[in-house]
Amino acid sequence: MKYYILKPKKLNLENLVDIYQPDFKFNLDKAYLIIYLVIKLSNKKNNSNEVRLSSKMLQSMIGYDYNKYIKFLLENYLGHGNILKGYRYSKGSTFGYKLTDYFFNNGFELYEISDYKLINKYKSIFEKNKINEQVRKHYYFLLKFFKNKKISVYEPFQAIEMTNSFETKKGLKNALELVNFMNGEFKLTLKSRTDGRVHSNLTRLSKKSRQFLQYEEENLAEIDISSAVPFILYLVMRMYLDNNLIYLSNFSYSNSNLFIYMLDEVTGDIEKTELNSFGNSIINGKLYEQFSELLLNQDFYESKGIDFNKVIKYYQFAFNDMFGYYFDGDVYDLKKFAKRRFLSMLFAPANKYSFEQIVFKELYPSIHKFINEYKNANQYKDSETMIYSKKERHKKLSHLCFQFEAKVMIDNIAREFDVMYKGKVPIFTIHDCLLTSSSNAEELKTFMQNKFIELFGIAPNLTIEYLNNYQQIKQAC
């Protein structure tokens, strides 16, 4: 049995122990596990705040000499520095610890624990597989593909090394999820009152890291919906225009029909020809291109009486924040940027992203009006249905779209595909795409396409991406 944790890449604890000779029987596994706890728990705090570890917990896991390990890790060794920083006890909280910046910022690597008693103590405290009640109630069928370590990580040491090329916080997050897969530990959650999505180890892992995953030693493939959010929004508006809210309610959770009912409060009419044009641009992959063509168009803004210097300053700041450099005319970067700004505008309060709003209104004025009226619509006075404050009521649009997406992708596609293959073909949900073994990708794509046509009379543009871990490994070496 192998059990992996992370350790700082620059830390050679064995060398420190050899040089400074602790006055007690030193167990490397115990010391590295304490460090790992600080690393893992600091991920939730972005390493900006100390991690509090209770003496009772440490004693239960490490033993009565836990304080000797802590003292050794806090010591400032000449020429080496200290591994952990300590923070004193404060009222209502235990002692705190933080990995020093030198070790945190220089990446992580795998360490294999061989002390099985220690592993079992650690797992009994921290690593219980967590499945919330909503998943058990709605989507228990998804669990079987996570169990029994059927998902493995190809070349685990190289997979972790690749995460060091990310920005530190993002890299650590991906490394921790890869470790979870290596150890057969998983967590699935669902919040039916908000986005309705199933969140799992897979959804928390970047596509770059998913390249290393295999199911029963076979590579994986993703079937993606192109422009998924706009396509779902198009379907919602089409049902609204056809006065088919009863059918639309099938694609939300029963306790969340507030999203559907509130459509009745929207007074703005959607022009049918405009909606058809919107749908065609989505399916043909032209929506973000249309948006990007106006986003930095000087003549367009000046025709509206808007100072373009203010516009370009606004976008250059946002562009640099996204890419780490200013826009230099690259069309591919602009399209990627436009997509991000479009989706941010869509789910933000109606008074935010003002320049993006102007562009969208120019392209699709009645749709723009409809969306903003819906985001601003009042809520029912019944306290049981009032789940948003006035400041957050715009969120109901994203939750409406995400619940619709989840119901279609999980209930109507993943579940039925699983039944058709009698649970023998792996299928995983990653929000607006599905994941399966490479040999089953074409069958799943065809099934998805047929199901969309059966449900809505139209299918989105679907693409298959085969996750080739060999190429990723070569890049990491």
pLDDT at 309: 96
pLDDT surpassing 60 at residue 57: yes
Give residue-wise pLDDT tens across range 85-132: 998 876 667 889 999 999 999 999 999 999 999 999 999 998 876 788
Least confident stretch, 29-43, 130-144, 333-347:
130-144
pLDDT surpassing 50 at residue 381: no
**Structural tokens at position 8:** 């700082």
pTM for this predicted structure: 0.89
Q: Are 462 and 449 in contact (CB under 8 A)?
A: yes
- Three-class secondary structure of residue 218 per DSSP: strand
Beta strand segments in 118-168, E: 130-131, 151-153
The pLDDT-based confidence of 162 (bands split at 50, 70, 90) is: very high
DSSP string for residues in 191-208: -TTTT-PEE-TTTTS-HH
Nearest to 36 by CA among 117, 153, 155, 123: 123
Q: Are 8 and 108 in contact (CB under 8 A)?
A: yes
Q: Are 151 and 215 in contact (CB under 8 A)?
A: yes
Crossing angle of helices 228-241/331-347, nearest 10°? Answer: 40
Query: From the centroid of its chain, how far is CA 96?
Result: 28
DSSP H/E element including 399: helix 395-406
Give residue-wise pLDDT tens across range 398-453: 988 999 999 999 999 999 999 999 999 999 999 999 999 999 999 999 999 999 99
- Three-class secondary structure of residue 309 per DSSP: helix
Nearest to 417 by CA among 444, 439, 440, 390: 444
Give residue-wise pLDDT tens across range 233-279: 999 999 988 888 888 888 888 655 666 666 766 776 899 999 999 99
